Amino acid sequence: MYIYRGNLKETDIAPGKAALLLLLIAVWVVVGLVGHDPWKPDEAYGFGIIHHLIQNGNWLVPMLSGQPYLDKPPLYFWTAAAFARALSPWLPLHDGARLVTGFYMAITLLFTGLSGRELFGKYRGWPAAILLIGCLGILLRAHEILIDNAFLAGCAMMLYGYALSLRRPRLAGLFIGLGIGIGFLSKGFITPVLFLAISLTLLLFRNWRTRNHYTALAIALLCALPWLTIWPWLLYQHSSALFTEWAWTRNIGRWFEFARSGHYPEVFYYFTALPWMAWPAAPLAAWTVWEARKRVWHEAEFQLLLTTLLAMWIALSLVPDINDQNGLPLLLPVVLLATAALATLRRGAANALDWFGIMTFALLAIALWWGWAGLLLNNNAKITHWLKDYQPGFEPAFDEVSFWIAAAATVLWIVLVWRTGRSVRRSLINWASGITLLWILVMTLWLPWLDNGKSYRPMIDNLSAHLPATYECMTPLRVGASEQAMLEYFGRFKWHSTRLAKCDLLLVQGERIAKPIENEIGWEKIWEGGRLGEKNERFRLYRRVKG
C-alpha cells in the first residue's frame, strides 16, 4: 500500500497517552449502554425480537409479537440474546442485549484504526478511531439496540481487508470475507452489493489489477460463502414461503419496486445529511482531497477510499429505506480520508477547530448543568417550564452517584483541555473528549428525564394497575408491533392477538382524538393512557359488557 504522509513529522504516541486514548474510547463506547429501558422507536422493536428469541428459543426465524420478522437476517439478534442471557444474573435483559452494540462498536473502532494505520502509516490508527467517535451522526446510534451497528462492524472489517489486500492478500481475504458475512447476516443483500461495487470499480485502476488483490478477492468469496448460504438454506428447509418472503418480498423485490416506481424523494438525503453526520471529519476529508487533488486518482489509498465512498453513497441512496442509521458506513471512508489531513492541515485551521470545539462543548455543558439544576430546584425559568411541559408527570430527584460521575467527568474535561497544547492531533482529542463529556452528562443527569418520555414502562405499569381482578384474555387492536413487544416484556397480561370474539378485554391504540372501535356496541372504556412524553399516541382499554 502506498503511504501518504504529507509534510508532518511522525512521532510515536507514548504508552501513557495511548492508555488515556484507550480509556477515552472505552468510556465513549460503554456510557449509555445500561441503565435505561428500551426506547421508542428502534429499540422497542429490536428488543422485542430479542426477547421473543430468549423466551421461545426459535433461533432460526426472528419473531416480533408472534409474527415472523424477516426484514433482516438474525445475526445481531442472536448475539444480543446471547449477551442478555449470559449477563442476566447481573443486568436486566434489555441492558444485557444493548451491550452487544458496544461489542460491535469496539470491532468497528478497532478495524477503523487498523485501516488508518495500514493506509497512512503506523501513527494514524489512534486518530482514525478518535475521529470516528467524534462524529456527530454516530453518537446516539452507537448506543442503541440497532442492527446497523453490526452492519457497520462488517463494513469496517471489509474496508480493512481491502486496505491490506495489496500487501497481505491471504489475511486480507479473510477479513473481507468475514466483513461480508457479518454484514450480510446483519443487514441482508446490501453488503454483497457493496462488495461487488467496490471490487469491480477498483479494477479500473492499475494499482488494483494485481495478483495479490485477485488472490484476496478469491479468498474473500470462499470465506464469505458459509455466511451467505447456511442460514438462508436452513430457512428454506424450514419454510420455502418464509424464505421467499425474506429474499424477495422484504428485500430484492422491494428494491425492484422502488426502482420501477420512479419516485425518489430522498435520493439526495446523504448529500445533505453526511456533512453533519460526519462533522468534524467531513471538512477535514474535503481538505485532504483538495490538497492531494493532482494525484488523488493515482495513489492506491485514495483510490480505495474514494471508490468506497462513491459505491456506498450510490448503493445506500438507491434502497427503499434511507435514513441516518443506514448511512453509518459512509462515515468510514470519510473518517479515513480525514485522517490523512493530519499531515497537511495548517496549524491555524487546527487551532480554530480546537477553540470552536472547546467553546461549543463548554457552553453546552453549562446549559446541561443549568437545566438540570433548574428542574431539581424547580425555579421559574422558562426553560424549566418547557422541560416540564415536554415530559409531563416527571418528578426530578437527586441521584448522588449520577451527580458525582457527572461532576468528575466535567472536572477531568476541564483539566484535559487546560493542560493539552495546541496541535492538529490534540484538537481532535479535545473534540472527542468534549463529545464524550456531553454524552456522560446526558446519560447521568438527564437520563431519568429522557427515560420518562421514551420508555413504555410507566404507561404499562399504569395499565396493569387498572386491569380487572379476573379476566379471560386481552386482544390488541391497531397496536403496533413495537408496542406489543413492550407490552409483552413489561406486562404480565393474558394476551391473545387473534381471539377478539372470545376475549373480554380489548386494547386499542390510536390518536388522541378518539376513534370508534369495531363492534363498538358492547364495549365500555375502563382505562386510557399513553407514554408520558407522547401526546398524540393513546391507548384505550375496553371491557366487554355482558348482556
Answer whether the bond into residue 41 is a cis peptide, omega within 30°: yes
Percent of the chain clearing pLDDT 70 (strictly above): 93
**Reduced to 3 DSSP states, what percent helix, strand and coil does the chain have, rounded to the nearest 5?**
65, 5, 30
Confidence at residue 7, expressed as pLDDT on a 0 to 100 scale: 42
Confidence at residue 164, expressed as pLDDT on a 0 to 100 scale: 96
Higher pLDDT, 241 or 267: 241
Q: How far is CA 32 from CA 452, 484, 526, in A?
A: 15, 25, 37
Mean pLDDT of 8-16: 60
Helix 190-202 with 211-238: angle, nearest 10 deg: 160
- The cell for 110 is 478497532
Please give the helix or strand (H or E) that residue 63 lies within, else none: strand 63-64
* pTM of the complete model: 0.93
In this model, does residue 248 exceed pLDDT 50?
Answer: yes
Q: Would you place residue 122 in the very low, low, confident or very high pLDDT band (cuts 50, 70, 90)?
A: confident
β-strands 523-529, 505-510 pairing = unpaired
Mean pLDDT of 428-448: 95
In this model, does residue 8 exceed pLDDT 50?
Answer: no
Mean pLDDT of 182-193: 96
Confidence at residue 1, expressed as pLDDT on a 0 to 100 scale: 54
Q: Which amino acid is at 99?
A: L
Q: DSSP secondary structure string, 520-545?
A: -TTEEEEEEE--TT-SS-EEEEEEEP
- Are the C-beta atoms of 524 and 542 separated by less than 8 Å? yes
Domains contained in the chain, CATH given = 15-342 (no CATH), 361-454 (no CATH), 457-544 (3.40.190)
- Are the C-beta atoms of 326 and 148 separated by less than 8 Å? yes
Nearest-angstrom CA–CA distance, 134 and 141: 13
- Are the C-beta atoms of 464 and 492 separated by less than 8 Å? yes
In this model, does residue 431 exceed pLDDT 70?
Answer: yes
The per-residue pLDDT for range 315-334, each reduced to its tens digit, is 999 888 889 999 999 999 99
Q: Would you place residue 314 in the very low, low, confident or very high pLDDT band (cuts 50, 70, 90)?
A: very high
Q: Would you place residue 3 in the very low, low, confident or very high pLDDT band (cuts 50, 70, 90)?
A: very low
Burial string for 404-418 (b: 16+ CB within 10 Å, else e) reads: ebbeebbeebeebbe
Mean pLDDT of 448-454: 89
Look over the chain and give the mean of its residue pLDDT values, rounded to a whole number: 89
The per-residue pLDDT for range 126-177, each reduced to its tens digit, is 999 999 999 999 999 999 999 999 999 999 999 999 999 999 999 999 999 9
Q: What is the DSSP letter of 90?
A: T
The per-residue pLDDT for range 495-518, each reduced to its tens digit, is 776 666 678 888 998 876 555 565
What SS3 state is found at 476? strand
User: Which residues fall within 8 angstroms of residue 75, CB to CB, at 6 or more apart?
Assistant: 150, 182, 185, 186
Ranges of beta strands (E only) in 429-522 are: 474-477, 505-510
Q: How far is CA 132 from CA 154, 158, 246, 465, in A?
A: 16, 17, 33, 46
Confidence at residue 519, expressed as pLDDT on a 0 to 100 scale: 52
What SS3 state is found at 318? coil
The per-residue pLDDT for range 50-105, each reduced to its tens digit, is 999 998 888 999 998 778 999 999 999 999 999 999 999 999 999 999 999 999 99
- Are the C-beta atoms of 510 and 478 separated by less than 8 Å? yes
Please give the helix or strand (H or E) that residue 64 lies within, else none: strand 63-64
Residue 412 CA, chain-centre distance (Å), reads: 27
Confidence at residue 498, expressed as pLDDT on a 0 to 100 scale: 62
Please choose, from the candidates 108, 150, 151, the residue with its C-alpha nearest in 3D space to the C-alpha of residue 131.
108
The per-residue pLDDT for range 265-301, each reduced to its tens digit, is 788 899 999 999 999 999 999 999 998 888 888 899 9
Higher pLDDT, 32 or 394: 32
Q: Would you place residue 6 in the very low, low, confident or very high pLDDT band (cuts 50, 70, 90)?
A: very low
In this model, does residue 260 exceed pLDDT 90?
Answer: no
Mean pLDDT of 403-427: 85
Confidence at residue 344, expressed as pLDDT on a 0 to 100 scale: 77
Mean pLDDT of 26-42: 93
- Are the C-beta atoms of 153 and 107 separated by less than 8 Å? yes
Nearest-angstrom CA–CA distance, 46 and 67: 14
User: Which residues fall within 8 angstroms of residue 528, CB to CB, at 6 or more apart?
Assistant: 538, 539, 540, 541
Mean pLDDT of 479-507: 81
Q: Which of 54-68, 103-117, 180-194, 484-498 has the lowest mean pLDDT?
A: 484-498
Q: How far is CA 530 from CA 453, 490, 511, 538, in A?
A: 10, 14, 10, 5
- Are the C-beta atoms of 475 and 503 separated by less than 8 Å? yes
Q: How far is CA 279 from CA 166, 221, 351, 443, 469, in A?
A: 30, 34, 16, 22, 55
Confidence at residue 5, expressed as pLDDT on a 0 to 100 scale: 46
What SS3 state is found at 292? coil
Alpha helices in 378-446 (DSSP H): 382-390, 400-419, 424-444
Higher pLDDT, 345 or 233: 233
Q: DSSP secondary structure string, 158-206?
A: HHHHHHHTTT-HHHHHHHHHHHHHHHHHHH-THHHHHHHHHHHHHTTSG
The per-residue pLDDT for range 524-544, each reduced to its tens digit, is 889 998 887 677 788 999 988
Q: Would you place residue 303 in the very low, low, confident or very high pLDDT band (cuts 50, 70, 90)?
A: very high
- The cell for 473 is 384474555
